[in-house]
Amino acid sequence: QVQLVQSGAEVKRPGASVRVSCTASGFSLSSHTIHWLRQAPGQRPEWMGWINGDNGKTKYSENFQDRVTISRDTYASTVYMDLSSLQSDDTAVYYCARDSIYLWLWFDNWGQGTSVTVSS
Amino acid sequence: DIQLTQSPSSLSASVGDRVTITCRASQGIGRWVAWYQQKPEQAPKFLIYSASDLQSGVPSRFSGSGSGTDFTLTISSLHPEDFATYYCQQYNSYPITFGQGTRLEIK
């Protein structure tokens, strides 16, 4: 069945960077777009960006433009999200989510979430 | 950015009730709205796209409607597993945005 399995929880100091991975199974990464979203405690989800699983093209939210990088390893069926210059308000659960390669821009399958805590 | 405002923010209802959640957009967004259900400590679950199209496997008691700026999610007869938080999402333009959520609680 379709699964997106994310890496484990992270605790980071302010100013550090974090990498979260998302490994796909049950479908071909090259036939889909993968998005990253985050959800701070008690808040609505916030969209961060996407990567085309076929050609690696990316698009980022302007809210994260200079701090986020999304990449992929097609052989490992894995997508990565790097977020730099972390601050306390980056504390959130980070999700990867699947979209069509045609960019319908809705998310039919989600990873289990990765908790990222930023604290000194 | 397009703002989505859901109402009510919370709702108490009983098993078997019919409930409707509203999502209002700050500008016209056609029918480019999706709905999700989220339970505590879980990822959101995809329910509806294009305002009214039910995702495969989602029970038919869920339905959506609307266009332009006003959208609704209706659950025709609440089941115990339906008590959760519901979010609308717009994909008319970037950045993709979500409503603040409606928490559906058991009365």
One-letter amino acid identity for A78? Answer: T
CB distance from B55 to chain A under 8 Å? yes
Confidence band for B101, pLDDT divided at 50, 70 and 90? very high
DSSP A74: G
Which of B43, B91, B100 comes nearest A105 by C-beta?
B91
Give the gap in angstroms from C-alpha B25 to the nearest C-alpha of chain A: 15
Amino acid found at B62: F
Please list every residue in chain A whose beta carbon sits closer than 8 Å to the beta carbon of residue B87.
44-45
Among the partner residues B55, B94, B95, nearest to A108 by beta-carbon distance: B55
pLDDT of residue B54: 98
Whether residue B92 is predicted with pLDDT greater than 80 in this model: the reply is yes
The structure tokens listed for A56 are 């690696």
For A17-48, write each residue's pLDDT tens digit.
Answer: 999 999 999 999 999 999 999 999 999 999 99
Residue among B46, B100, B101 minimizing CB distance to A107: B46
Q: Could you report the per-residue pLDDT of A70-120, keeping only the tens digit for each?
A: 999 999 999 999 999 999 999 999 999 999 989 899 999 999 999 999 999
Is it the case that residue B6 has pLDDT exceeding 90? yes
Q: How far is CA A103 from CA A51, A52, A60, B69, B76, in A?
A: 10, 9, 14, 22, 31
Residues of chain A neighbouring B98 (CB-CB closer than 8 A): 44-47
**C-alpha angle B80-B84-B89 in degrees, rounded to nearest 5:** 135
Instruction: Report chain A residues whose CB lies below 8 A from the CB of B89.
Output: 45, 106
Residue A65 pLDDT greater than 80, yes or no: no
Mean pLDDT calculated for residue range B77-94: 97
Write out pLDDT tens, residues B21-44.
999 999 999 999 999 999 999 999
Model confidence at B65, pLDDT cuts 50, 70, 90, reads very high
